[in-house]
Copies of this chain bind each other. A is one copy, B any other.
């Protein structure tokens, strides 16, 4: 079976977390995620709703803070500070993008690194870069789990990462070249020369550049593992909604060459919320003096 199903793997992780939460509760520990939403962006509202709903299914408490779009930076940061100090709250998630002139960077810096379950604080990026991650940001962590749980050994393999974003490209590169994972990692980006020469070398190709169907069949080595992080909307009059979702990989061309490949949707996407839940449960464990979760 060449398809790596993020749907199935994320379901498996959620099941494991559900048991873990039950176990924690039986010891009087109730994992809790604070979810901060500013304004009324419809996409953000959907993301937030999904996150809260997943919390509920797993027995994790979620507390929503819905702020008006005219909230000031100061008020938002004050709320974060209050949540930092609230011992009932294990993890803090602030849904991005923020509306108007609100500064996301300052918000990230305000979140206590110990509660930064999104793994966006420089402290957590640094711990990851230094090979001793605490909270790995959710998308790179999801990519790692897809590889691990579909038995794709990374050791000694050449991983080529397309994209150098702070959300995906950079952390996933740091992660996979760590001791134990031991991949040889190349980071490519818009300025890379001879891109095809690079991507064709990849034993594992991770596409995270946000360009619809950018990776074509001729860019991929026969037998490569392909992880498609992209989620792009492209206009399509043949679809009832007038658009369709696609990844950064031209699936129809690449799938026949790949030994394993993630689809879009149903690949990396569903992993992100699962790993947010993982980080929240982990935060609850650590804050209660238990060791961190160890995932397979």
Residues of chain A touching chain B, judged by Cβ–Cβ distance below 8 Å, are: 121-131, 155-158, 164, 166, 170-171, 173-174, 177-179, 182, 184-189, 191-193, 198
Contacts of A187 in B (CB 8 A): 173, 177, 184-186
Find the residue from A157, A173, A188 having the highest chain B CB count within 10 A. A173
In the complex, the answer to whether A186 meets B184 with C-beta atoms within 8 Å is: yes
Shortest distance between the CB of A209 and any CB in chain B (Å)? 13
Among residues of B, the one whose C-beta sits closest to the C-beta of A160 is: B186
Copies of this chain, how many?
2
In the complex, the answer to whether B191 meets A156 with C-beta atoms within 8 Å is: yes
Contacts of A157 in B (CB 8 A): 193
Given A177-B164, A192-B184, A121-B129 contact (CB < 8 Å): no
Contacts of A188 in B (CB 8 A): 184
Shortest distance between the CB of A217 and any CB in chain B (Å)? 22
Among residues of B, the one whose C-beta sits closest to the C-beta of A170 is: B129
Given A126-B129, A129-B170, A189-B182 contact (CB < 8 Å): yes
Q: Say which residue of B121, B174, B184 sits within 8 Å of A193 (CB atoms).
A: B184
Find the residue from A122, A166, A182, A192 having the highest chain B CB count within 10 A. A122
In the complex, the answer to whether B126 meets A127 with C-beta atoms within 8 Å is: yes
Contacts of A174 in B (CB 8 A): 129, 170, 174
Among residues of B, the one whose C-beta sits closest to the C-beta of A188 is: B184
In the complex, the answer to whether A170 meets B130 with C-beta atoms within 8 Å is: yes
Among residues of B, the one whose C-beta sits closest to the C-beta of A191 is: B182
In the complex, the answer to whether B128 meets A129 with C-beta atoms within 8 Å is: yes
Shortest distance between the CB of A105 and any CB in chain B (Å)? 9
Contacts of A173 in B (CB 8 A): 187
